[in-house]
Amino acid sequence: MTIYTDLLEHTKTIEKTNLKALFENDPKRFEKFHAEFQDMLLDYSKNKITDETLSLLLKLAKTSHLKEAINDMFSGKRINTTENRPVLHIALRNRSNTPIYVDDEDVMPKINKVLKQMQTFSNKVRAGEFKGATGKEIKDVVNIGIGGSDLGPKMALEALSFYKTPKLNFHFVSNVDGTDITETLNKCNPETTLFIVSSKTFTTQETMTNAQTAKDWISVHLGQKATKHHFVAVSTNIKAVKAFGIDAKNMFVFWDFVGGRYSLWSAIGLSLMIGIGYEGFIQLLEGAHELDLHFKETPFEKNLPVLLALMGIWNTTYLGAESYAVLPYDQYLDKLPLYLQQLDMESNGKSVKKNKKEVDYMTGPILFGTAGTNGQHSFYQLIHQGTHIVPADFIAPIYSLNETGNHHDILLANVIAQSEALMRGKTKEELEAEGVEKDLIPFKTFTGNRPSNTILFEKMTPKALGRLIALYEHKVFVQGVIWNINSFDQFGVELGKQLAKAVLPELLNKKQKLNHDSSTNALIEKVRSLRR
Ligand code: G6Q
C-alpha cells in the first residue's frame, strides 16, 4: 500500500460522512482545523476531512519530499527542470537580504540595484520630474504587456488603488485586438503619456504589435525622436530593447529565474510602484517575504500554504472536484480570480509527470471566481445545488478601507453565511417545518456537504496583499510537488501561437493554397472572402 492508495481507500469512509454531522459531533472541529499567521486566518474546517484525513494528507506531503523541494526552491536549485532554470521569485522579495546563489553568484546585489533604479524612476514620475518630449509632466502611464507581464501589476494596482496617487492615470494594454490600444490611446495625450513596455522576451507578438502602434502614435504627434522620452522597458532582452529605440538607462532588467506569472515582484511591478510609491511596493514585498519565511519554517500542520494545498489535493485528486472557485469579498480584489487563474492553471494544468510519464490522477482544477456578493446572484446557484462539487475559497478583510454605513457588516455576514450554507444545506424536514409547499420541497432542498475554506485578514494593505499572493503561489508550488509535475513551464500555450503564425500569411495571401482540415480551410476561406 502506498500513501496514495491509503488515501483512495480513505475516500470510501469520507464519502459516507457528512460535514454537518462532523460539526455536530465535534464542537472542537474549528479549533482543530484552522491555522493562523499574523492577522491571517485560514479556516479549513468546512472541508470533508477528519483527523485521519489530515494525518494521511500530511504523510502524503512528507513522502512527496515536500520539505526538500521547498529547500531546493529557496536555495536556487534548478527546479524548473524542463527549462533548466532556478525559480527565484522569493529572492525578489528577500527583504532579509540573505545571499541566494545561482551558479556561485549571489543574486541579491543585482535585485537590489534594480529596485533602487525603480525607486529613482518612480519618484521622478510621481513628482512630475520625468518629462515628455515637449517638457510636460507625465499624466498617463500605459503598461503594455501580456500574461505574466500584465496580470500582476494590473491586479495589484487595482487591489491597492486606495493607496494610488491621484495625480496619475494608469492603463493596461494586453490584447492584440486593436480595440485595446485604440481605446486606451483615445484617453491619453501623447505629450503627457509614458509607455512601459513590459516583456521578458521582448518578442511577444501581442506586446510588440501594441508597442509599435504606440510608438507610431508618438511619432505622428511628436516626431520620431520623441520615443526615448515616452518609452521605458522592462525586460531580460537588452538587445531587442535597444533596437526598439529605448534608452538603456530607461530599461529595467529582470532575469530568467523569474517566471512570467511570478514576476509581479520584479521590475514588472514598475507601474505598480509608480502608482503606490516605493514604500508601498516595499511593503508588498515585505508581506510576501513574511509569508515565505512562514512557508519555509513552519511545520506542515500549521503551515497555511501547505494546508491550503492539501485541501485542494484532497478535493480534486481524491474527491474528484474538477473546478475551484476563489471568491474574494473585497471589491479591491476583483481581479484576484483572473490573476490566480493564470497562476494556478498555467502552473498546474499539466498531465505529464517530471519522470515523463502521464499522470493517472487529476491535477490542477479549473479556477474561476468574482468579487463580493455579485456571484451570489449568478453562478452560486450551481455551487449550492448543481451536480458539480465546487470547492471554494472565501476571502475577506475584517475592515473595509471604505467603511460606509453598514455595508461591510452586510458583506461579512454574507461571506460567513455562504460557507455555512454550503456546509449545512437545508433538509426536507427543515423546509416542512417552515411550511414550504410540498411540491416545491425538492427544488428548495440543499444537500449541503459542500467544501470551502475561509481566509480572513485585517484589511487590504500592501503587506496583506503580499502575504495573500505569496500564500497562493506557495499553495500552487506544494500541489505541483505532490502531483510530481513541473509547475514552472508552460508549453501548453505554444501550439496555438505557432499555428497562428502559419495562418496569418494565408489570410493575407488569398492565392496561397490551403492545406488544413476542412473546418480550418473553410474558416480561412470565409475570412478571405469577406475581408478586403
Ligand atoms: C507566464 C507566461 C506568460 C508570459 C507572457 C508574456 O508565466 O510565461 O504569461 O508572461 O507570454 O511573455 P513576455 O513577458 O516574454 O512578453
- Give the Å distance between the CA of 114 and the centre of ligand 1: 20
Amino acid 295: pLDDT:
98
262 and 134 in a common domain: yes
pLDDT in tens, the chain (532 residues): 799 999 999 999 999 999 999 999 999 999 999 999 999 999 999 999 999 999 999 999 999 999 999 999 999 999 999 999 999 999 999 999 999 999 999 999 999 999 999 999 999 999 999 999 999 999 999 999 999 999 999 999 999 999 999 999 999 999 999 999 999 999 999 999 999 999 999 999 999 999 999 999 999 999 999 999 999 999 999 999 999 999 889 999 999 999 999 999 999 999 999 999 999 999 999 999 999 999 999 999 999 999 999 999 999 999 999 999 999 999 999 999 999 999 999 999 999 999 999 999 999 999 999 998 999 999 999 999 999 999 999 999 999 999 999 999 999 999 999 999 999 999 999 999 999 999 999 999 999 999 999 999 999 999 999 999 999 999 999 999 999 999 999 999 999 999 999 999 999 999 999 999 999 999 999 999 999 8
Residue minimizing CA distance to atom 5 of ligand 1: 147
For residues 145 and 197, is the Cβ–Cβ distance under 8 A?
yes
d(CA 182, CA 197): 16
User: Among 167, 173, 124, 145, which residue's Cα sits nearest to residue 269?
Assistant: 145
Residue of 407, 497, 510, 526 marked catalytic: 497
* Candidate of 82, 146, 491 to mutate for ligand 1, largest count of ligand atoms within 8 Å of Cβ: 146
d(CA 53, CA 313): 12
512 and 455 in a common domain: no
81 within domain boundaries: no
- Give the Å distance between the CA of 148 and the centre of ligand 1: 5
48 and 177 in a common domain: no
d(CA 177, CA 158): 23
Residue minimizing CA distance to atom 10 of ligand 1: 148
* Candidate of 143, 149, 234, 489 to mutate for ligand 1, largest count of ligand atoms within 8 Å of Cβ: 149
188 and 313 in a common domain: no
d(CA 486, CA 256): 16
Q: What is the CATH number of the domain that holds 404?
A: 3.40.50.10490
308 and 261 in a common domain: no
For residues 367 and 382, is the Cβ–Cβ distance under 8 A?
no
Q: CA gyration radius for the chain?
A: 25
DSSP class of residue 487 equals: T
Q: Which atom of ligand 1 is nearest to the CA of 268?
A: 14
d(CA 254, CA 518): 44
- Give the Å distance between the CA of 37 and the centre of ligand 1: 31
C-alpha angle with apex 145: 139 to 150, nearest 5 degrees? 85
- Give the Å distance between the CA of 287 and the centre of ligand 1: 24
- Give the Å distance between the CA of 146 and the centre of ligand 1: 6
Q: Is 437 a catalytic residue?
A: no
For helices 270-297 and 66-74, the axis angle rounded to 10 degrees is 140
Amino acid 124: pLDDT:
98
- Give the Å distance between the CA of 191 and the centre of ligand 1: 30
d(CA 199, CA 210): 12
Q: Is 497 a catalytic residue?
A: yes
Number of Cβ within a 10 Å radius of residue 499? 12
For residue 507, give every residue at least 6 positions away whose Cβ sits within 8 Å of its Cβ, in sequence order, or none: 524, 527, 528, 531
168 within domain boundaries: yes
197 within domain boundaries: yes
Residue with cell 455576514: 413
User: Among 325, 321, 391, which residue's Cα sits nearest to residue 362?
Assistant: 321
Which residue among 275, 308, 340 closes a domain?
275
Q: Which atom of ligand 1 is nearest to the CA of 147?
A: 9
456 within domain boundaries: yes
506 and 440 in a common domain: no
pLDDT digits (tens, 9 = 90+) for 220-269: 999 999 999 999 999 999 999 999 999 889 999 999 999 999 999 999 99
Ligand 1 pocket residues where CB is under 6 Å: 146-149, 199-201, 204, 207, 259-261, 346, 490
d(CA 101, CA 163): 34
Amino acid 532: pLDDT:
81
C-alpha angle with apex 399: 398 to 403, nearest 5 degrees? 145
Query: Could you tell me the three cell numbers for 61?
Result: 506531503
431 and 516 in a common domain: no
- Give the Å distance between the CA of 274 and the centre of ligand 1: 22
Name residue 390's beta-bridge partners.
none
28 within domain boundaries: no
Query: Could you tell me the three cell numbers for 79?
Result: 527546479
400 and 303 in a common domain: yes
76 within domain boundaries: no
Q: Is 346 a catalytic residue?
A: yes
347 and 267 in a common domain: no
Name residue 234's beta-bridge partners.
198, 252
* Candidate of 85, 270, 490 to mutate for ligand 1, largest count of ligand atoms within 8 Å of Cβ: 490
Query: Could you tell me the three cell numbers for 135?
Result: 517638457
Q: Which atom of ligand 1 is nearest to the CA of 148?
A: 10
Residue minimizing CA distance to atom 16 of ligand 1: 199
* Candidate of 176, 197, 238, 261 to mutate for ligand 1, largest count of ligand atoms within 8 Å of Cβ: 261
289 within domain boundaries: no
Amino acid 482: pLDDT:
98
DSSP class of residue 350 equals: -
Domain range for 377: 33-63+298-483
User: Among 112, 193, 122, which residue's Cα sits nearest to residue 153?
Assistant: 122
d(CA 311, CA 383): 17
Q: Which atom of ligand 1 is nearest to the CA of 145?
A: 16
For residue 358, give every residue at least 6 positions away whose Cβ sits within 8 Å of its Cβ, in sequence order, or none: 351, 352
Residue minimizing CA distance to atom 8 of ligand 1: 260
Amino acid 466: pLDDT:
98
- The count of domains in the chain is 3
Residue with cell 450554507: 421
User: Among 135, 122, 275, which residue's Cα sits nearest to residue 191?
Assistant: 135
Which residue among 275, 310, 345 closes a domain?
275
DSSP class of residue 225 equals: G
Residue minimizing CA distance to atom 11 of ligand 1: 147
Residue minimizing CA distance to atom 1 of ligand 1: 260
For residue 506, give every residue at least 6 positions away whose Cβ sits within 8 Å of its Cβ, in sequence order, or none: 512, 514, 524
Residue of 158, 191, 206, 346 marked catalytic: 346
Q: Which atom of ligand 1 is nearest to the CA of 201?
A: 15
d(CA 138, CA 126): 8
Amino acid 76: pLDDT:
97
216 and 110 in a common domain: yes
Query: Could you tell me the three cell numbers for 233?
Result: 522597458
Burial of 391 (0-12, 13-18, 19+ CB in 10 A): buried
How far is Cα of residue 119 from the mean position of the Cα atoms in its chain?
A: 25
- Give the Å distance between the CA of 383 and the centre of ligand 1: 32
Number of Cβ within a 10 Å radius of residue 12? 8
- Give the Å distance between the CA of 176 and the centre of ligand 1: 14
Q: Which atom of ligand 1 is nearest to the CA of 198?
A: 14
13 within domain boundaries: no
Amino acid 1: pLDDT:
75
For residues 393 and 326, is the Cβ–Cβ distance under 8 A?
yes
270 and 123 in a common domain: yes
φ and ψ at residue 434, rounded to 5 degrees: -80, -5
Residue minimizing CA distance to atom 2 of ligand 1: 260
Residue of 16, 377, 501, 513 marked catalytic: 377
Amino acid 521: pLDDT:
97
Amino acid 252: pLDDT:
98
φ and ψ at residue 217, rounded to 5 degrees: -60, -45
390 and 304 in a common domain: yes
